[in-house]
Amino acid sequence: MSLPEGVQRRSFDGRESLATRGPQVSEEPTVDGWRRWDPDRSKVGAMFEDGLEHGLEGGERVLYLGAASGTTVSHIADFAGPTYAVEFAPRPTRDLIEVAADRDRLFPLLKDARKPETYAHVVEPVEVLVQDVATRGQAEVALANRQFLEPDGRLLMAIKARSEDVTADPESVFEGVCETLSSGYEILDRGRLEPYHDDHLGVVATPRQ
């Protein structure tokens, strides 16, 4: 599987890892301006490491749902085009704003991903929709935000089984979410995100026409 332009494998203390070139965000190791992208802290990083066919080339416009304090979205903004980062909680949004201060392509939005009408006037059509939200109804969130995705765009979604139903078998949860998701998306690839994230499924999809 190829990596998007702007993402490389670099050696950090003798260990090869994904890396992007940009300002340091936390205490991640850096070498010659490249900073380590830790898949244990990033669902998208785990998707790359696990070999999902993401279809990203670099430079795409991105809408990221569930940006939290900005760890993953900062790496994405390092290699993507304009990147809109939606986060619902005020505290991590403050951290996200600090991350964006060093990145002119990263635009934080204190909004609820379940209510895309509240940011529809801000977000332009995008080529990539990334979703990492811890809520029940994850498929419904992706369907509601499909309006922003170009016809040939890509959805990269991390399904969190425990957010849907903490008592159910994760595989049953994944099947149910994917079935709902399929009403508006064609699923191109999927795979568990172990060993990096337990009870998570990575999904790559494109909008149905």
Is 132 annotated to bind ligand? yes
Q: Tell whether 12 is in a known binding site.
A: no
- How distant, in Å, are the alpha carbons of 42, 97, 103 from that of 25? 14, 12, 11
Is 62 labeled as ligand-binding?
A: no
| Residue 206 assigned as binding residue | no
d(CA 178, CA 138): 10
Q: Are 26 and 20 in contact (CB under 8 A)?
A: no
Name the 3-class secondary structure at 79. Answer: helix
Q: Is 71 annotated as a binding residue?
A: yes
50 labelled binding-site residue:
no
Tell whether 133 is in a known binding site: yes
Torsion 162-182-206-203 (CA) sign: positive
Whose tokens are 């490491």? That residue is 49
88 belongs to an annotated ligand binding site:
yes
Record the tokens describing residue 134, joined without a space: 């811890």
Binding residues: 71-72, 87-88, 112-113, 132-135
Binding residues for S-adenosyl-L-methionine: 71-72, 87-88, 112-113, 132-135
